[in-house]
Structures are given as C-alpha cells and as structure tokens.
Chain A
Amino acid sequence: MRKLMSNRLAVPAFLALLVVGLAFVMPSNFYFRVAALVWISALAVIGLNLLMGFAGQVSLGHAGFFGLGAYSVAILPAQFGLHPVIALIAGGAGCALLAFVVGRPILRLKGHYLAVATLGFGILVSMVISNEAWLTGGPDGMPVPRLALFGWRARGADTWYWITGGLMVIGALLAVNLVASPTGRALRALHDSEVAARVVGVDVGCYKLIVFVISAVYASVAGSALALVNGFITPDAAGFLHSIQLVTMVVLGGMGSILGSVVGAAVLVVLPQALTVFHDYEHLMLGFMMMAFMILLRSGIVPSLSMLIGGRRA
C-alpha cells in the first residue's frame, strides 16, 4: 500500500480511474456538466498549486491568464478564422510569453508585494477585457464558436466531460513528473528557504520564473476549455473574484498536493450546487463549511487526511 502511494504515477492513475468510474454513476447531463467544471477548475488549480504549494509564491491574478485563454478561443477564431484547437495553443503560448515578460520583474518582489503586483496584473487584464468592447464584446461577453474536429462537433455535457477529464489527467501527470524532476526538487528547496536554496546553487529567480510560466499555461488552457464548454464567455472569468476562488481552492485542497487541487476544486464547485436548497442562507453555509474545513483540517483537506491515516498506521 505504502509502495503504491509513493509511486508517482499513483495520483494521475487514480484521477483517471475517477473520471472513468464517475461516468457510470452520473444520472443526468447536469451532473456531467458540474463534473466537467470541476475538471476545468482542477486543471487551473493544479497549475496554481505548483506555484503556491511547491515554489511558495502567491498569485492573486491567475484569473487574468484564465481569462486570456478563454478569450483567445473566442477572439482568434472569430477575427482570424483560426481553428479553436490552434487558438487554444496560441492562447497558451501567448500566456507563457506574457508570464515570462511580466514575471521577470514581478518575481523579484516577495510576500505581500508579490501578491499586490499579481493582483494588479489580474485587474489590468479584466479591465482591458471589459473595456475593449469592439474586440471582446465588453461586459456583456461574446459567443465562442463550437469546437469541431474532422467534421465531428463537440457538444453536450457528456462529451465535454471526457475532454476536460482527459485534459485534467494529462495536467496532473505533467505536474507530478515536474515535481519529481530536479526542477521540482529545486522548487521545494526555494519554498523552504530561498537563502538556503541559493547557497546550494539553485538559481532562485530562474526557477520561480519557470514555474510562473508553467502555471500561467495551465490557467490559460483551463480558460480555453471553459470558453469552449460554455460557448459563451464574459469578463467574470478574468475577474478578481475568480482569482481569489482559485487561490481558495488551492488552500482548501492542500498546498503542495496535486490530488488536493482536484479535491479543492470539487468542493468549491459542487458545494454551491448542493447548497441551493438553503436559498437565503446559501452563502452563510458555504462560509461556515469552509471555516470548518480550515479549522479542522488545517493544512488542507488532502494533506491533513493523509497525515491522519498515515499517522495511525505508523
């Protein structure tokens, strides 16, 4: 059991089983849609977790990248006739470049200053998207052309369940490989102590930048996926509240845990749907449950639980 847990393919394999297994118990398209939203959020959260949980840097502007990815599959096909898949890749590449350019000066900052700088970046992106109405449709949003591959049109929540589930498993696979690589070790070193990492020869600035770029690409791809699933996109996707939501998912699920990212995303996407029965008290309940999670499972749902189970067995 322990050996299995420590295998680095265990988490992606488990997630793949989860995606396949859940598909058999879904009663309706509504559940497929909610699950697809969980996979999409999970993808963005895995990326952000690499930055927050492994490299120890905070970003309060990740919805900016998410929004850019989303709008790239809306704008590029509409304005230049690009295929949505190419637009998705172009969006990811564009975000990587932007993260590289923006990240170089920003990542020199630490702690609160870094948080505020990324916050500013996120707000800037969402302002541009809401104001350039000729390109983005402004606050009312714009339609996204449906995805068609070799004459086959992707529509219906169950189709998107498989596509987004696949993307999420691939994302998790890449993430665990990155964490297990020398880059991952360097990242964890600089999370624990930047000074110590520098002493043992880790190029701190360079690694921070690498992981910032990677997490921006995750967010961008997730944004593109959401835009394609919905067929319509509004500037909310790039908004400040969405950035906060992503950070909350990371912390709730557990920093530095890939599985935790998926759990955090699942909790925050599914809970509001489950709580609609409470009508007026919905937000109160949501807040209460999040507080309960954070008080009882202090280092996030997955790490706390695995510590408990592991601790009992040892």
Chain B
Amino acid sequence: MARFWNKIGRVAVTSVAVLALGAAAHAADTIKIGSSLSMTGPASFLGDPEGKTLEMYVEDINANGGVNGKQLELVIYDDAADANSARTFATRLVEDDGVIAVVGGSTTGATMAMVPVFEDAGIPFISLAGAVVIIDPVKEFVFKTPHTDRMACEKIFEDMQKNGISKIGMISGTGGFGKSMRGQCMDVAGNYGIEILADETYGPKDADMTPQLTKIKGTDGIQAVVNPGFGQGPAIVTRNYRQLGIDVPLYQSHGVASKSFIDLAGEAAEGVRLPAAALLVADKLPDDDPQKPVVTGYKTKYEETTGEPVSTFGGHAYDGLMILVEAMKRAGSEDPAAIRDEIEKTQGFIGTGGTVNMSAEDHLGLDLSAFKMLEIKDGDWTIVN
C-alpha cells in the first residue's frame, strides 16, 4: 500500500510541476506575436514549413535588433488542423499570452474558427489559409497572404483567352480543394467568355479516370481541359489523358505545383500548363523581376536552415510575418488597432506570393501577376509569357 501511495505521490508531483511550468512567467519588454498552426496531423504539410519559417525569421529579426528596438517573442501552438483546438489556442493567445498580433491558421477551417476571437478582441490576424471566404466579406481585423483558387481559375482562363480557347471541359477531384476550385472556376468562366461543355468528377482514391476522359474526348468542340485537383489524382488524369491521345491542351491547377507531380506523371506531363507562385521557379525568374531577390533569398535560407526543399506554404508564413513587421515599424507602437491600420495600408510589399497592395476593401492585396503561367518541358518548369 505504501508503495502505491509513493507512486501516486510521484505522479502528482510530476503533474504539479507540469502545470507550474505552463504558468511560468514571461519575460517583459518583448513584443509578443502569436501563432496557431497545423504542425502535426493531416495538414502538417502546410503547418510544418510555416512553423519553421516563422521561428527562423523571428530569430533572424531578433538577431538584427528586433522591431522598434524591442525583441520579438513568438508564441506558437499546434492545433493539428482541429478547428476546436485552434479556437481554444486563439482564446489562449489573446487572454493568457496577451499577444498583439497573430500570423497563423494553416487551414480554412481552423482560420474561420479563430476569426471571431480576434475580431472580438481587436487583434490583427494574418491567415495563411487558402479560401476566399476568409477575406470576402472583408473583416476588420482579418488579412491573408495566400492567393485564392478563384485567382488560379482566372489565371488559367486568361491564358486560354490569349490562345483563343473558349470551349472547355473540366474534370475535378471531389476532395475539398478540387471541389472548391471547381465552384470558383464555374463562377468566373463567364467573365472570360469561356463555356464549360463537359463537367466530370473523380473521387480522391480513384485509380483510373479513363471513363470520364473518354466522355470529355467525345464531347464536340472542346478546345482545352482543366483539372482542378490535389495529390495524385491529377497525375493519373495526366497519364490517362495521353493514353487516350487527347490532343487539346491540358491545364492543371496550382495544387500540383511541386516536383513530385512531374515525377508521378512522367513523360505524360510534357506540355501541361499550370499557374504557380514565383517561388517554384525562383532560379528561372528573369533578373529584372522584382520578386527575384525575395524568393531566391527565402529559398536559400529555408533550404540551408532546414535541409528540406522549399514549399510555397512556408512562403505564405514569410509574407505574413514580414507584412506584420513592416506594419509594426510604420505604426511605431504596440497598439493592435494602430498595427491593423498599418497592415491595411500595405503598399508595394514584395513577398514570395507576389506584390501586395492592400486596401480597406481588399485584405489580400494580390492580383493575377502573383501567379506565373508555367509549362512543363523536358521534365522541368518553364515560364510562359
């Protein structure tokens, strides 16, 4: 019995120590900024590079004297893409940690769950998630850095217009990404005089899309095909597309903008076009491109520090942090409302995602130039003008 109580005692001591550590006092005279990211779980491919980027650059900024003469302190939590815990961490950042601004929210779900907390508390929040609902309608304290799937559709349609294409087929994945982008493409097609003659879908685990593509091939008058999708689906579509000998151009989305797509699709990827952020083709940008120094700088630093290939997601975190830091410098104070006003006034900020010009009506501030139209040639990306 005594041994048992001994054990209980030990467990109790550990627990108390844990709780006490949690409540440990924080150093004064620093500027606290917060973040809740999906560093583990199903969206860790977003949250992991984002977290590493934030930590890397906060350290960098502090080494160079901090902001307004004060050191930055980054409070970072892992919400594992769970909206409920994101919400709890948001409350914690505001109430307990007392942060003055937040850069975070890897997924749209987590972001939307956090929005009311920051709106109520009046804390500026720069989200790193994709969907357009985050900033449309505009919310006073909410901003975001990644381009939207609507813009990807517009970029594709713009390229089609240039090439005299007006009648297209669509084959979309039914996952969150494909579904959302399909809707946005349908929505904006009319603005570019584009008619969608065939609209097919495939499930996230399908291993063969020949039937859907055969149907598209059989539809009269199709001049191009768009494939909104994510993961390995688009690679299968691309392979089937070539197997069926469809000879009209194939457009993929920014969702497959990574080397692994070319590896998966192999030779079939030749000639595929897609919109992507400049970061992907950092070394191929012309020297006079204003983004060149920013993207090559970020790419080099990220790859040297972490030893992993750079991803556009980490780039979004870089943009968010830098927009915030610039705004804090301009505001010259730690008042969240003043910082919010300055974020909204961001003009001509050049980040990894493009040139940001925010306004009271636009809390994203990117235009279509943020995307480069790429074509795959000889197993590598080339920039199309």
Contact = CB atoms under 8 A, between A and B. Distances in A.
Interface residues of B, number: 42
19 contacts: A28-B96, A37-B84, A131-B174, A140-B107, A140-B112, A141-B112, A230-B84, A232-B83, A232-B87, A234-B83, A234-B109, A236-B82, A273-B88, A274-B22, A276-B78, A282-B78, A285-B18, A296-B11, A308-B4
B8 A138 contact: no
B245 interface: no
Most A CB contacts (10 A, CB to CB) among B15, B18, B84, B107 go to: B84
Interface string B113-124: 101100010000
Contacts of A37: 84, 88
B131 interface: yes
B88 A34 contact: yes
B21 A277 contact: yes
Nearest to A131: B174
A234 B113 contact: yes
User: For the side of the interface on A, what is the size category?
Assistant: 35 or more
B24 interface: yes
A168 interface: no
3 cross-chain pairs, A with B, having the tightest CB-CB distances, nearest first: A30-B95, A139-B176, A234-B83
Contacts of B179: 133, 138
Interface string A282-314: 110100010011001000000000001000100
Nearest to B115: A232
Contacts of B11: 292-293, 296
Given A138-B176, A232-B87, A274-B18, A30 B113 contact: no
Given A133-B179, A138-B176, A296-B11, A232 B113 contact: yes
Given A140-B131, A140-B176, A282-B78, A230 B96 contact: no
Contacts of A236: 81-84, 109
Most A CB contacts (10 A, CB to CB) among B11, B21, B91, B174 go to: B91
A120 interface: no
B116 A231 contact: yes
A215 B56 CA distance: 48
Nearest to B110: A234
Nearest to B92: A30
A236 B85 CA distance: 11
B109 A141 contact: yes
